[in-house]
């Protein structure tokens, strides 16, 4: 029995790794999903990995749960526009959500962060991972962040015809938070 009968079997996948800081003033202002999807189609792409939520903690769609990127113009749904344009051209889309790193969520809910054995909020520089940005905080999945994240994933699942999910940056660092 072929259990993968309905599973998408991609031949050419593209993944765009865009994490956009709050200070970027014009996210999506000149983005044209139809032109973008046509370019992907011309290149032979049949599966796109596209951000619904980045490691800065911002969503690129009209979310009722998460933190929409503040510089996306009102009325724009960058993720939804891209899913629609790609699907119309036969290109499947997986929703990328950064789960373990989420700067904006950490700012709004510091109690959701992983805490090191020395009592520090975990950032990549504490473990000397070579990442030189102070703008990423590791989130604890034992905290209420887990329920928030699951609700955000369900929101994307229920709102968009995506082919799957890429859930990134689960971290196995020691955490001594109260959860």
- Residue 144 token pair: 């209420």
Does residue 10 have a pLDDT over 70?
A: yes
Handedness of CA 66, 71, 74, 79 (dihedral sign): negative
Domain contains 173: no
Domain, as residue range, for 146 = 13-168
Of 40-44, 103-107, 125-129, give the range with the top mean pLDDT: 40-44
Q: How many domains does the chain have?
A: 1
Domain contains 178: no
Does residue 130 have a pLDDT over 70?
A: no
For the stretch 29-47, pLDDT in tens is: 899 999 999 999 999 999 9
- Measured CA distances, 83 to 14, 74, 143, 145, 159 (Å): 14, 18, 31, 26, 11
Domain contains 84: yes
Nearest Cα neighbor of 77 from 101, 51, 103, 44 is 51
Of 115-129, 142-156, 161-175, give the range with the top mean pLDDT: 142-156
Specify the CATH number for the domain of residue 139.
3.20.20.80
Domain contains 6: no
Does residue 132 have a pLDDT over 50?
A: no
> Residue 51's pLDDT is what?
95
> Residue 1's pLDDT is what?
42
For the stretch 60-101, pLDDT in tens is: 999 999 999 999 998 899 999 999 999 999 999 999 999 988
Domain contains 5: no
**CA–CA dist 78, 59 (Å, integer):** 9
Domain contains 26: yes
Domain contains 67: yes
Domain contains 179: no
165 pLDDT tier (thresholds 50, 70, 90): very high
């Amino acid at each position: 029995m072929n259990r993968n009968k309905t599973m998408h079997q991609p031949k050419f996948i593209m993944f765009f790794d865009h994490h956009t800081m709050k200070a970027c003033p014009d996210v999506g202002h000149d983005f044209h999903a139809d032109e973008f999807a046509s370019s992907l189609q011309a290149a032979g792409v049949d599966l796109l990995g596209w951000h619904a939520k980045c490691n800065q903690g911002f969503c690129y769609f009209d979310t009722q749960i998460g933190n929409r990127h503040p510089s996306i113009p009102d009325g724009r749904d960058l993720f939804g526009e891209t899913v629609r344009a790609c699907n119309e051209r036969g290109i499947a889309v997986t929703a990328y959500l950064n789960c373990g790193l989420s700067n904006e969520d950490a700012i709004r809910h510091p109690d959701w962060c992983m805490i090191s054995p020395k009592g520090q909020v975990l950032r990549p520089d504490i473990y000397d991972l070579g990442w030189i940005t102070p703008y990423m905080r590791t989130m604890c999945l034992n905290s209420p962040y887990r329920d928030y994240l699951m609700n955000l994933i369900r929101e994307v699942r229920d709102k968009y015809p995506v082919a799957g999910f890429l859930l990134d940056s689960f971290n196995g660092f020691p955490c001594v938070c109260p959860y």
